[in-house]
Amino acid sequence: MHRILSKEILAPDVARLWLDAPVVARKRRPGQFVIIRLSEDGERIPLTIADADPARGAIALIVQGVGKSTFALNAMNPGDDLLDVAGPLGLPTKIEPNARVCCIGGGIGTAVVYPIACGVKALGGHVVAVVGARTRDLMILEKELRAVADETIVTTDDGTYGAHGLVTDALKKLLAEGHTFDEVVAVGPLPMMRAVCEVTRPLGLRTIVSLNPIMIDGTGMCGGCRVTVGGEQKFVCVDGPEFDGHQVDFAELSARLKAYREQEAIALARYRQMSAQGA
């Protein structure tokens, strides 16, 4: 059992949960994730380790409610227990000492980018962070990124906060102004990661993306998280989650993510009905 120690609402349907998980807190490195189960009959949910406090034996997860399991998790409260937390899983981010990195987070992807930015700074690097959201209320972790990055730019699609436009507009502006980077790390919705890759591809600027396919076992055995990268099959849970974005087959990943839409909608409708009945 893993107790929820605290809970904070960061944006509508987005919560930060600190969990009791001493072994994971001690071992995790930037870029890694856990797979949790809420209960015996619950599905397995992969979530990035957004932060860790080894002294307290706790890890932070930042969760966006998008379906039955993530809404159920965000409905839990301090003092409640999760059945299990498996991890740390996946390969840690490869971070070169003293690198100049542009860290781009879109929406909930900012929760994945934040520990990577901390890792780059810990190795003496220079971080320019670009944080994007559809609208002001959905912006997360701006304060945390400003505290760690050398420069932070915020953008909203609707212009309600920061620069009006997409994260790709901010990246193009930085490049036009003469900023140079050893690499770009982009994490967010698939169309965003794909768009960032199309900005950097002609420049030959190395671009790392963190992929979020459907996962089941998290051990490389079931094939659920299969993606094609550079024409080769990879399993995100053991070969990733980070890959060279210029090599990723985004169209295939997008199609695979839609495979269970109907079942997911039914599960969410049932969950909402049962919650309304107080079950």
Q: What is the binding site for ligand FAD (CB under 6 A)? A: 33, 43, 45-48, 62-64, 66-70, 108, 111-112, 212-215, 241, 257, 261, 264, 267-268
Q: Does 235 bind ligand FES (CB under 6 A)?
A: yes
DSSP state of 271: H
Tell me which H or E stretch contains 237: helix 236-239
User: Is the CA virtual torsion 10, 65, 93, 1 positive or negative?
Assistant: positive
CB of 33 to ligand FES, least distance (A): 11
If DSSP codes are grouped into helix, strand and coil, which group holds residue 95?
coil
The residue among 99 and 216 lying less far from ligand FES, judged by its C-beta, is 216
Q: Which partner, ligand FES, ligand FAD, none, binds residue 218 by CB below 5 to 8 Å per kind?
A: ligand FES
Q: Which partner, ligand FAD, ligand FES, none, binds residue 76 by CB below 5 to 8 Å per kind?
A: none
Q: Which partner, ligand FAD, ligand FES, none, binds residue 235 by CB below 5 to 8 Å per kind?
A: ligand FES
Contacts 24+ apart (CB under 8 A), 252-260: 252/227, 252/228, 253/190, 253/211, 253/213, 253/227, 254/190, 256/213, 256/214, 256/226, 256/227, 257/190, 257/213, 257/214, 259/214, 260/214
CB of 97 to ligand FAD, least distance (A): 26
The residue among 46 and 88 lying less far from ligand FAD, judged by its C-beta, is 46
Q: Does 211 bind ligand FES (CB under 6 A)?
A: no
Q: Which partner, ligand FES, ligand FAD, none, binds residue 217 by CB below 5 to 8 Å per kind?
A: ligand FES
The residue among 134 and 256 lying less far from ligand FES, judged by its C-beta, is 256
Q: Does 237 bind ligand FES (CB under 6 A)?
A: yes
Nearest to 62 by CA among 51, 72, 76: 51
* Residue showing the smallest CB distance to ligand FAD in the complex: 67
CB of 259 to ligand FES, least distance (A): 14
Which tokens in the block code for residue 67? 């379906």
Q: Does 225 bind ligand FES (CB under 6 A)?
A: yes
**Bridge pairing between strands 81-82 and 58-64:** unpaired
- Cβ proximity of 30 and 13 under 8 Å: no
Integer Cα distance of 46 and 222 in angstroms: 15
- Cβ proximity of 135 and 156 under 8 Å: yes
Q: Does 215 bind ligand FES (CB under 6 A)?
A: yes
Binding site for ligand FES (CB under 6 A): 215-218, 220-225, 235, 237
